[in-house]
Amino acid sequence: MVKYRIGAVVAEFNYDLTHMMLELAKEEAKIRNCEIVQVVPVPGVFDMPLAIKKLLEKEDIDTVITLGAVIEGSTDHDQIVAQHASRKIADLSLEFEKPVSLGISGPGMTRLDAHKRVDYGKRAVEAAVKMCDRLKEI
């Protein structure tokens, strides 16, 4: 029996990075006796909130992880995407009273920086599981 059932929302943008993040997340979930039971691919980080909400509405999902990489471009677009997405993600966690971990690297990073941060997939699972444990104690 698994400890927690995890939903994952994964950005397709920068898929080479987010796919590695997802694989690390799956390994970490197994190590922690949890399971990623549903993966929802979305076009990009900005598109995550609706998919997160749909997962949080499910009774058989205990927590949601988000996986994405927001890489710096020639404009401030990366800043806008990361700020708005992270704010809405936090709001959804509060609204549904379930943990939603932020496994999104960036903004303001290069592609090389993003490669160095694929372990955010593992960290997202770690944070989600810890929050589930802590909320049980309250």
Q: Domains in the chain, ordered, with CATH?
A: 4-136 (3.40.50.960)
pLDDT at residue 73 tops 90: no
pLDDT at residue 111 tops 90: yes
Specify whether 77 is catalytic: yes
The predicted model gives 8-13 an average pLDDT of: 98
| Residue 75 banded pLDDT, cuts 50, 70, 90 | confident
Helix (H/G/I), strand (E/B), else coil: 13: coil
User: How are the residues of the chain apportioned to helix, strand and coil, as percentages rounded to the nearest 5?
Assistant: 50, 25, 25
Cα separation of 68 and 132, whole Å?
A: 22
Cα separation of 13 and 2, whole Å?
A: 30
Query: pTM here?
Result: 0.96
Q: Is 70 annotated as a binding residue?
A: yes
Q: What is the pLDDT of residue 25?
A: 98
Q: ∠ CA 119-104-132 to the nearest 5 degrees?
A: 80
Q: Is 96 annotated as a binding residue?
A: no
Q: Is 112 annotated as a binding residue?
A: no
Q: Which of 19, 77, 84, 115 is labelled catalytic?
A: 77
Q: What is the pLDDT of residue 1?
A: 87
Helix (H/G/I), strand (E/B), else coil: 118: coil
